[in-house]
Amino acid sequence: MSSVVVVTGASAGVGRATAIRFGRDGARVALLARGEAGLAGAARDVEAAGGRALAIVTDVADAEQVEAAAERVERELGPIEIWINCAMATIFSPVVDITATEFRRATEVTYLGTVHGTLSALKRMRPRNRGCIVQVGSALSYRAIPLQAPYCAAKFAIRGFTDALRVELMHDHKGIHLTMVQLSAFNTPQFLWGRTHLSKRPQPVPPIFAPHVAADGIHFAAHARRREVWIGFPALKVILGNRLVPWLLDRMLVRQGYSGQMTDEPVRADRPDNLFEPAGGDFGVDGPFGERSKRRSYQLWATMHRTALWLSATVIVVALAALVWAL
C-alpha cells in the first residue's frame, strides 16, 4: 500500500515541490496550508504526478486546526507514516522596523507551526512505534543573517526543539525517525509575498536553487536514517564556516548581507502580503528567479550517495597501496 504523507506549507514553493515528489511515488499526500487556490493547484499537481491528494485548509499557527487536520488525514487516507513540517513566514526588515506583533506571527507560523505538526504526528506515531518526521530547516538555523531576524530565530528554535526531542525518542526506545534538512537559498514565491519593510524587492542570497532540488533532498531524508541532511553546497559552506570562523562571516555579512538580499527593483505598492492572511491566487512552485536558479546540486548528490563514494574511495586507496607495494 502507498505511504501516507503530510506536508505543511504545501500550497507553494518547497512544500509544494515536496508534495509532488512524493506524488511521483504514488503516495497519498495530505496538503496543509492556508490558501485555497494554492492548495487546489497543489492537489492537481500531486495527482498529475501519480499520487492521491487531500487538501486541507489549515493555519499551522493554530494547534487545534493542525490536530483536526491530522484526524481527518487518518480518517480519509490512513495511518500517517511521514510528516513534513515546511510551513514558514518571514519579514524582510531590520529588527528596529519590525513590530512585536509581526515577530509573534512569524514565530507562531514558523516555529510553533513545526511544534504543532510534530505533536500531532507523535500522537499517532508513538502508539504504533514507527514513522518519520522531517523538519525543514535552513543554513540560517546555524548562521543568522541581517534583515531576516524573525525567520532565523525561528529556525534556530526548531533546531533546538528537534535536538531535544530526538534524545527523548532515543531514551524511550521509540522507532520514530526524526531528521532535519538544512536548505540553501531557493527560488520560491515567498519573495513575492513575504512581508517586507525594505525599499527594494527581496531576493534569495545567491547562488539560488530550484525548489525541486530541496524536494529531492527532503524525500531522501524521509527514507534515509540521517540525523541531518544539508542541501546545497552553500548550506555546507555556511554551517561549517560558522563553526570555524564566525567572526569572518560577520564581516562578510556586513559587506554583502544587505545588497545580497535585494534586487535593484523597487517594491511595488500592490505587492501581496501573506503574513496574516494567505496571498490570493495560486503562485505555484517556483518564484521569480528561475533564470538564475540551479537545477541540480552536486553536493546533494554526493550526500545521497556517500556510502558508494566512500566504498569507491576505499577501493581506490587499497588498489594504489597494493600497486605501490608491488612496485
DSSP-assigned letters across all residues of 177-228: EEEEEEE-EE--THHHHSEE--SEEE-PPSSEE-HHHHHHHHHHHHHS--SE
Which residues are CB-contacts of 6 (< 8 A; sequence separation ≥ 6)?
29, 30, 32, 69, 70, 73, 80, 82, 83, 84, 117, 121
Angle between helices 13-23 and 36-49 (to 10 degrees): 30
Looking at residue 315, its pLDDT comes to 63
Verify whether residue 151 is a known catalytic residue.
Answer: yes
Which residues are CB-contacts of 288 (< 8 A; sequence separation ≥ 6)?
187, 191, 192
Looking at residue 59, its pLDDT comes to 98
* Distance between CA atoms of residues 160 and 168, nearest Å: 13
pLDDT of 308 higher than 80: no
Question: CATH homologous superfamily for 4-296?
Answer: NAD(P)-binding Rossmann-like Domain (3.40.50.720)
- Longest CA pairwise span in the chain (Å): 74
Q: What are the grid coordinates assigned to 5, written together?
A: 504523507
What residue spans define the domains of the chain? 4-296
**305: pLDDT confidence band, cut at 50, 70 and 90?**
confident
Looking at residue 327, its pLDDT comes to 72
pLDDT of 320 higher than 80: no
Instruction: Indicate if the alpha-carbon torsion angle 47, 277, 124, 153 is positive or negative.
Output: positive
Which residues are CB-contacts of 199 (< 8 A; sequence separation ≥ 6)?
266, 267
Q: State mean pLDDT over 218-232.
A: 95
Q: State mean pLDDT over 188-217.
A: 95
* Distance between CA atoms of residues 55 and 36, nearest Å: 8
**1: pLDDT confidence band, cut at 50, 70 and 90?**
low
pLDDT of 317 higher than 70: no
Looking at residue 323, its pLDDT comes to 72
Choose the catalytic residue: 111, 151, 258, 298: 151
Helix (H) or strand (E) holding 137: strand 131-138
* Distance between CA atoms of residues 106 and 109, nearest Å: 5
Angle between helices 233-244 and 246-256 (to 10 degrees): 120
Q: What is the pTM of this model?
A: 0.92
pLDDT of 324 higher than 90: no
Which residues are CB-contacts of 309 (< 8 A; sequence separation ≥ 6)?
302
pLDDT tens profile 60-77: 999 999 999 999 999 999
In degrees and rounded to multiples of 5, residue 131 shows phi and psi of: 130, 170
pLDDT of 15 higher than 80: yes
Cβ proximity of 197 and 99 under 8 Å = no
The closest of 205, 206, 237, 230 to 301, measured between CA atoms, is: 230
The single-letter DSSP state of residue 267 is P
Looking at residue 154, its pLDDT comes to 98
Looking at residue 200, its pLDDT comes to 95
* ω into 207 cis (within 30 of 0): yes
Looking at residue 155, its pLDDT comes to 98
* Distance between CA atoms of residues 272 and 158, nearest Å: 27
